């Protein structure tokens, strides 16, 4: 599966060149058809072919350059517009990035029992995590992540991409603190895992909206096994940090003692369920 980032791929020079040549060929054919119908008196097919061939040889490079500049300018505008539309959602995007590798590609979800995460889970997941974290923690971390994203936009302006946020160390640490605080909700591990599964399933998005994932989207629900997989994925960055002595000390300095204890307890439970 692909890690899907929100940016647009620029075509290479060869693609632009073949596109321009295709346009010239179509225009040449158009002229020849009109000449055949008598709309271009005094101009032979040979003259038309010679002129268009000369044009392709002499002017196609400039046309390719102009074409590529126009397309790239449009793609940059689309990227900027995309960032503007969802600029209030950097927290959601950074959170989802942790498990987006498990989303199915188009048409990949062929049955409802595949071990993947349908995007149908997102509405229920966001609501459930906010309930677990609490309103105060939710608002603080959302504000912190928004601040990091605003700083990126201020520096990079039109060149800013979501990958800049995904790679932002402090923004990811903020998400770690969010989940560390949430770990205190898992004192009764089995009960809370069951609650999370039911809560997400009760808030599944409409199948029609995610039909592009495949036929299995209609029957998909989150199983207990997938819920545990989701939690392991969400807490994986923390698990990696605490297995490094220096990073572990840094992590423990960022959060309160009760969150530290709860996080380590949750990590132990998750490791035991593999």
- Domain ranges across the chain: 13-82, 89-272
Q: Which pLDDT belongs to residue 263?
A: 98
Q: What is the pLDDT along the chain (274 residues), one digit of tens a residue?
A: 444 444 444 455 565 567 767 777 767 777 777 777 676 777 788 877 887 777 777 666 777 677 677 776 666 665 555 555 445 689 999 999 999 999 999 999 987 667 789 999 999 999 999 999 999 999 999 999 999 999 998 898 878 889 999 999 999 999 999 999 999 999 999 999 999 999 999 999 999 999 999 999 999 999 999 999 999 999 999 999 999 999 999 999 999 999 999 999 999 999 999 8
What is the chain's alpha carbon radius of gyration, rounded to the nearest angstrom? Answer: 27
Given this model, what pLDDT does residue 39 score? Answer: 60
Residue 71 near residue 11 (C-beta atoms within 8 A): yes
CB contact set of 48 (below 8 Å; sequence gap of 6+): 28, 31, 32, 35, 40
Distance between CA atoms of 33 and 28, rounded to whole angstroms? 9
pTM > 0.75: yes or no: no
In angstroms, the CA 88 to CA 92 distance is 9
Cα(50)–Cα(37) distance, rounded to whole angstroms? 19
Cβ(93)–Cβ(100) under 8 Å? no
CB 116 within 8 A of CB 229: no
Cα separation, 207 vs 121, whole angstroms: 10
* 221 φ/ψ angles, rounded to the nearest 5 degrees: -140, 160
CA–chain centroid gap for 85, Å, is: 14
| Contact (Cβ atoms closer than 8 angstroms) between residue 174 and residue 145 | yes
If DSSP codes are grouped into helix, strand and coil, which group holds residue 196?
A: helix
Which positions ≥6 away from 201 have C-beta within 8 Å? 124, 221, 222
Tell me, letter by letter, the H, E, C secondary structure of 96-118.
Answer: HHCCHHHCCCCCCCCCCCCCCCC
Residue 34 φ then ψ, to 5°: -70, -35
Burial of 210 (0-12, 13-18, 19+ CB in 10 A): buried
Q: List % helix, strand, coil for the chain (3-state, nearest 5).
A: 75, 0, 25
């Amino acid at each position: 599966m692909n890690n899907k980032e929100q940016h647009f791929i620029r075509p290479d020079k060869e693609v632009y060149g073949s596109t321009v040549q295709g346009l010239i060929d179509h225009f040449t054919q158009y002229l020849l058809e009109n000449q055949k119908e008598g709309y271009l008196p005094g101009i032979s097919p040979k003259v038309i072919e010679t002129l268009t061939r000369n044009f392709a040889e002499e002017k196609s490079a400039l046309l390719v350059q102009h074409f590529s500049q126009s397309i790239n300018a449009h793609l940059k505008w689309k990227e900027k517009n995309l960032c503007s539309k969802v600029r209030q959602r950097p927290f959601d995007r950074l959170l989802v990035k942790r498990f987006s590798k498990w989303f199915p590609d188009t048409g990949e979800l062929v049955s409802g029992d595949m071990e993947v995460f349908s995007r149908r889970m997102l509405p229920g997941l966001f609501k459930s995590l906010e309930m677990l974290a609490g309103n105060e923690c939710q608002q603080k971390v959302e504000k912190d992540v928004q601040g990091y994203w605003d700083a990126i936009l201020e520096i990079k302006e039109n060149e800013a991409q979501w990958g800049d946020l995904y790679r932002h160390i402090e923004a990811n640490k903020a998400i770690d603190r969010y989940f560390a605080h949430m770990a205190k909700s898992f004192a009764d591990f089995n009960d809370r895992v069951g609650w999370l599964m039911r809560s997400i399933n009760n808030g599944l998005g409409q199948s029609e909206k995610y039909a592009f994932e495949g036929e299995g989207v209609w029957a998909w629900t989150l199983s207990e096994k997938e819920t545990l997989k989701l939690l392991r994925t969400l807490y994986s960055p923390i698990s990696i940090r605490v297995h490094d002595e220096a990073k572990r000390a840094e992590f423990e300095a960022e959060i309160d003692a009760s969150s530290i204890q709860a996080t380590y307890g949750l990590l132990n439970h998750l490791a035991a369920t593999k």
